[in-house]
Amino acid sequence: MKKIITSLVAAAIFVAATPFNVSQIALADSASSKSKTALLTDQQEEFLDVAAVQAEKSAKKYGVYPSVMLAQAIVESNWGQSELAVNANNLFGMKANDTWTGDKYAKKTREEDANGNSYYITADFRKYATFNDSFNDNGTKLRHGISTDPLFYQKTWIENAPTFHDVTKALTGTYATAHDYYQTLDKRIVDYDLTKYDPQISNAKITYYVKKNGPTYQWPTDHTETDKASTVTSKQKVTVTKTITYYNATQRMYISGQGWINGSCLTKKQPKVSRKLQHNARVYNKKGKVISKKKLKKGTKVNTESNLTKISGKKFYKIGKNKYVKKTAFVK
């Protein structure tokens, strides 16, 4: 993987970060953003093509923003040509703390104190076997925090951060000591249109029905990264208040008061329920008029919609297109 990274970015040129007004770009529409997209060198374009694929996968697994992951990789690794990237597959400047059990790579690095003054130390950094491992470790750090505080980076989680800018601000002073870290990341995100790799997020309130019994989860991550939150039952009516749609069209949805679930577990189509008639029953249309002299026989099992419909103040179950039977006709 070292050779791959080196070949992709050997001639890439690092662009130093400069302060700018993030509010001006955070609200820019896609057309405006596209017109301002910076030109990429061939090496930068190749690096981004490879990095974006893994960023989308890792960001989906850990529930973070791909655009921020990519901006960090660009800044921290100088488009993959930094000493750490080439020799340790470390794209995010991840240090090897006491909990790290893998290989290490020692390197001199610049730090910044509370007053913005620079100083240098020699530190151990994490050395990865592959390019992809670096992305996954970055996702692990953001989602699971540090040993003393698992929620240390919770403001960077996709369910908690309305925009990429909220994430970059949360990383400043926590992930990196540089006081202008968020400006550096924001500029890369805007200059290179990195938000195009982010999932679509909707806060629309929508009614769904559960396809089968199963658990919900605390986070919109892969299930291997989160604890269970609750359970839902087949045909249960639920309200979804947030939907995240990813690059591969899969979705994670938040069920109000119950937790996150894969979109494939829900349906908008109202499920059918088999109900038994306790006496002969007439069939009505949506205006409450009898549509057939022939009655449904007592004991017949009829598939109805799960919810009741009111017609002229009375309760009916819908059994087909413009066909309804009174609730009182069915066994309780």
What is the reported pLDDT for 109?
Answer: 82
pLDDT at 230: 98
DSSP string, 244-261: EE-TTS-EEEEETTTEEE
**Residue 239 and residue 321 in one domain:** no
Predicted confidence (pLDDT) per residue in 290-317, tens digit: 998 899 999 999 999 988 999 999 999 9
Is residue 72 located within the same domain as residue 19? yes
CATH number at 180 reads 1.10.530.10
Residue 36, pLDDT score: 52
Domain limits for position 41: 2-197
Residues 95 and 224 in one domain: no
Query: Considering the chain, what percentage of its residues have pLDDT values greater than 90?
Result: 79
- Domain's final residue, options 197, 222, 252: 197
What is the value of pTM for the model shown?
A: 0.78
Do residues 158 and 225 both lie within one domain? Answer: no
Helices and strands (H and E) in the chain: how many: 9, 15
Distance, CA of 48 to CA of 192 (rounded, Å) = 10
Q: Which segments in the chain show pLDDT lower than 70?
A: 1-36
Which distant-in-sequence residues (6+ apart) come within 8 Å of 320 by Cβ?
none
